Structure 1
Amino acid sequence: MRKMIGMCVTSCLLLGSMGAVATQAEKPAAHPIVSMPQDSFNGMNYILVVNGKPLQDRSVYSSENELMIPLRSLTEALEYKVTWNQEKKSVELQRAAQWFSLTIGEDRYNVARMLVQLGKAPELKDGRTYVPLSFAEKVLKMKTTVDETGVITISASEDAVQNMLQTNGVITEVRDLESDGKALHVMGKATTTSGHGSIALNIDDKTEIIDGVTSKPLTAKDIKEDMKVQAFYSPKLTKSIPPQGHAERIVVFQQLGKVTGTVTEIREGKGNTLVHVDGATDNKVENDVVLGFNEETNVLSVDGKAVDKEQVKKEDKVIAYYGPVMTMSLPPMSNANTVILETK
């Protein structure tokens, strides 16, 4: 009987959007789930991570559906010399042989004496210059990504930081080492060419550990399972499965939720796929979670290989990490970050 009630509740949820009203004792309205960050959503603040280091500057904002980022904070982190011309309301950037210029209010970016248009002009706000996020990619030739929790990653190249490899994902296991360090297992998405979706990393006093929200340094004692992280590591790895190596830098973000269970229903929602997971496979709706699979969701096999989201079927056994935003409905709804498909 309890499972039948749970399935009825789930059907109501899956037939609507992620912001639909969920059936509960007093039918409370569910909070909306967003697949891309919005600076108006619960006061969410964007986090800029440049070459693996989070910036103190949190002044990213939206302008006509464009993310605007602080020019000086970005370029000084990349060791550009920044020169402001008050009379012309223009900025010059220089680093070695590289030279760029731009003028407030003009969608004409001077790149080595050639003009590039981005569809959005630089803006002056509170005495500071802001440019669209596409400036980093199309002018500075950086690699940019934005995830659903507001983390904006800007990397210099595919070999993101001094030829280090990078994996963005979740810590699935933490073990103490005799040397006072820790051994981590990170599963997610490799964001460099030779990176790994599943990687075992040792961290010690030589590993730089940073809080991605506050930019403050952390220690190995702060590392916990189910944390969302960006892991940077040396290409010197063992040939084991998963490969093992040393973490040069760990950037820590939110603690994620975790559910282990069986997929009982899959429905198409607005812009994503809704997957109902029977937590602990116990037929108790209070342990279930409805997960939104979107472009940012990583689906992996148990050995860390990428799996097409469409391969997830009813009756599959999964371990799913989700959040940090979650509705107050029954069962709760959230965006899936990393999903490990245990079914072969």
Structure 2
Amino acid sequence: MTHKKKLIVLLTTAGLLGTSAVVGAAGMVEKVTGILHKDVKVVVNGESTSLTPVYINGQAYIPVRSAAAELGYTLNYDAKNKEIELNGKGQEEADYMRGTGVIVNVAEDKGQYRIELLGKGSNAWVILFADAKTVIKDQAGKTVAAKDLKAGQQINVEYGPVMTMSFPGQSHAAKITVEADRAVKEDVIQSVKHTDDGWQIQFGETKDGKAVPTLTLNAGKETSVLTPQGESVKWEDLKAGTKVRAYYGPFETKSLPPQSPLFYLVVLSDIQTPAGKMTPEAAQQYRDLAWEKVSDQAKHIKTKKDEAVVEIVSAKESGVMASSDEQKKRLAEIKAANGNLVTVTYNTDQDELIGPLTAVFDFETKAFIGYNIRK
């Protein structure tokens, strides 16, 4: 939103120790005399300027056009109405949130493009919508079509100023800059170790009973390790056998195995505690999502909202019933990939007849899948 300010301004004549000017205000004209103080500095955002104030009756005045430029405003003079209008050209930029990360998924949605972004910024996991108003360019300034955005691209983005209260938050993408196309690999870690420069993980295969590395990824300070929901993961918690999705390169060395820099590592499994439950923070997020789905059954629910049991279960072993075609398709994809679901279970006054009420979500995206079949 652009804010406009209409001001009555004194026009000064630089270079005079004493100066006269005419001030117009509310239908009156008055000749005034002021003192030009060259010994007074005008500082804007910590930076000195060449502006010199004129003091009239103890108040400081500065040239409006020069002041507007220093403050980031554009100036327009309406001669007919004798008004000087300042437009805050920087206000729109100030209202936007900024982030950087990799595109996890892009899908066309009713004439716009739905972008799932995972990375850094005030919102590590966010859904953005790009439309005809979104400015999309590459690093060289060349325009990029929204349909050409794809998973694995690392982007900088400005979005907002409005954002939904959902999880993840959703907003309109105002500006997208495509920084690089990263290679993407989803596999289990063969080995992980600490190095002088950071961390190193290897992917590989087994030949003749021996582990053979096929790719080495080197991580430094710029590398982010996250869950699919944008929560930070410690390197020390990673181990061989952990399923991950790596965004790296795209270049690789010609060594054996090839090596490449790692930028984002998304941990897809092995974030459970020994008890088989999620961390308290993650569990609460699922409880909040589940309550939105079951609140219409609140009169039957005995479990308190924040005490529902949250568990990670194998999709193949779950008893979930998906209702929509989209949910059925996603459930089939999760089962085919041997993926996991998250269940949130409430006890009700109908448990003896039909069993507890359980809402089920996609472990990777937190999308609602359906409810477990009750008796």
Relative contact order higher in (CA < 8 Å, ≥ 6 apart): 1
| Structure index of larger Rg | 2
Going by fraction, where is helix more abundant, 1 or 2? 2
